Amino acid sequence: MSIVKIRTNRQVTIPKSIFDEAGLQEGDFVEVTRNQHNIVIIPKKLVDSDDILSPEEEEQVRKGEMQMEKGEFVPWEDVKKKHNL
């Protein structure tokens, strides 16, 4: 357990070991909530609206996942050749 001091403007420093274990980097976002007597900090990743899949793209991903589960897949190199990537 680490003890840290609350500084000016309510700033708190996350100890390096916890920061590293959580995979945090400077500039990342976290959600801060209160759970009874505890303050909980949860790492959050923001997603651009451009990075959200359309319903059709989500269906393609689900179809691909089901094919992979059945062992039906094509090596990535073959896909790149087929589509000239």
Are 40 and 33 in contact by the 8 Å Cβ rule? The answer is yes
Report residue 54: phi and psi, to 5°.
-75, 165
Are 69 and 63 in contact by the 8 Å Cβ rule? The answer is no
Q: What integer pLDDT is reported at residue 39 of this predicted model?
A: 95
Q: What integer pLDDT is reported at residue 17 of this predicted model?
A: 95
Distance, CA of 12 to CA of 34 (rounded, Å): 15
Q: What integer pLDDT is reported at residue 58 of this predicted model?
A: 92
Domain ranges of the chain: 8-44, 49-82
Nearest to 73 by CA among 64, 83, 82: 64
Are 32 and 40 in contact by the 8 Å Cβ rule? The answer is yes
- Whether CATH 2.10.260 fits 8-44: yes
**What is the pLDDT tens value at each position of the chain, 85 positions in all?**
889 999 999 999 999 999 999 999 999 999 999 999 999 999 998 888 788 888 999 999 999 999 999 998 888 999 899 898 8
